[in-house]
Amino acid sequence: MRKRSLDMVHTLARRDERVVFIGSDLSPNLLGDMKKEFPQRYYMEGISEANVVGMAAGMALEGFIPYVNTIATFLTRRCYEQVAVDLCVHDLPVRLIGNGGGYVYAPLGPTHQAIEDIAIMRALPHMTVTAACDAEEMTRLMEASLDWPHPLYIRLGKGGDPIVSRPERGFAIGKAIDMIDEEVAGSDVLLVATGVATTQALEAAKALAGDGVRCRLIHLHTIKPLDGDALVAAAGQTRLVVTVEEHSVVGGLGSAVLEALSDGMAGSLPPVRRLGIPDRFAEHYGNQAALMKDCNLHAEGIADAVRAALSGKRT
């Protein structure tokens, strides 16, 4: 997913001379072909996220479209004020490509694990927040990014993630995607997921369907602006809503969904369960899958949570 997103920067740079790449001390030869083809629009800067974001703002104020890339925690935590003031107050079309959303950097510890990036990015006016589920969807997101008129946060998964998205389902920033083909009217559970958690939710839905549980799965590659209309309509036709995210339960997808349902549903809300990373920093290393399993964010854990909720148990 990361490689695809960066390759797409090069593709977009060929198509549009406003596109600029800015990295902050990344891998040697990253986007080397772009560097050769467009040396004037390729910047590999030092470890200086505050400066890099301000520099991108200056370029965007002059009509350029900078794509800024570094590790997600550094791009969100370290320079939050520059993101807020330089990008969002000015409402500039700068794209922040954050490596390692969630537990991708499991062995590297909490300094490198972006577990609250969605929460803090979506709190900023004008900011758009996205988390594609696989490389193919990343291509569609990057295509859509070129003319998106606002600052855009692009959360990256690990890479090599299974392809579960399908082009025929379409793609537009801010629009939900139904991930299951069967009749969607009426379901026992509405799963709502983002990023690679969608893949786990899809596996969980298959297991639940085997048990006779009617599942609908909405993938929200865009957490802000949230497709509230789709959510409200779907939530009105289900017994239970379960949100799934590789992100803190504080302020992320689950919070956003609850806000949308609370604000948008005319009647009472169905029960809503939020599955995510508990409000704590990681206490183990290992790998992404192991840490997700530790939080019950693997397919089996999700399916168990759904079964428990449908039977009226609190988890």
Judged by the rule CB under 8 A, the positions of this chain that interact with other proteins are 20, 40-41, 43, 45-46, 48, 50-64, 81-82, 85-86, 89-90
- Report how far residue 272's alpha carbon sits from residue 3's, in angstroms, rounded to the nearest whole number: 35
The CA distances from residue 185 to 216, 243, 273, in Å, are 9, 19, 21
Minimum separation from the CB atom of position 291 to other proteins (A): 32
Residue count (the chain): 315
Least distance (Å) from other proteins to the CB of residue 78? 10
Phi, psi of 175 (to 5 degrees): -115, 130
What is the closest distance, in whole angstroms, from the C-beta atom of residue 232 to other proteins in the complex? Answer: 35
Residue with smaller CB distance to other proteins, 79 or 305: 79
What DSSP assignment string belongs to 264-298?
H-SSPPPPEEEEEE-SS-----S-HHHHHHHTT-S
Task: Locate 315 and state its tokens.
Answer: 């988890």
Q: Which is nearer to other proteins, 80 or 148 (CB)?
A: 80
Beta strands in the chain (DSSP E): 19-24, 42-45, 65-71, 95-99, 128-131, 152-155, 177-178, 187-193, 215-219, 222-224, 238-248, 272-277
- Asked if residue 110 lies in contact with residue 117, where contact means CB atoms within 8 angstroms, the answer is no
* Shortest distance (Å) from residue 152 CB to other proteins: 17
CA angle at residue 216 from 1 to 257, to 5 degrees? 70
Compute the least distance from the CB of residue 14 to other proteins, in Å.
16
- Residue closer to other proteins, measured from CB, 25 or 304: 25
- Minimum Å gap between C-beta 86 and other proteins is 6
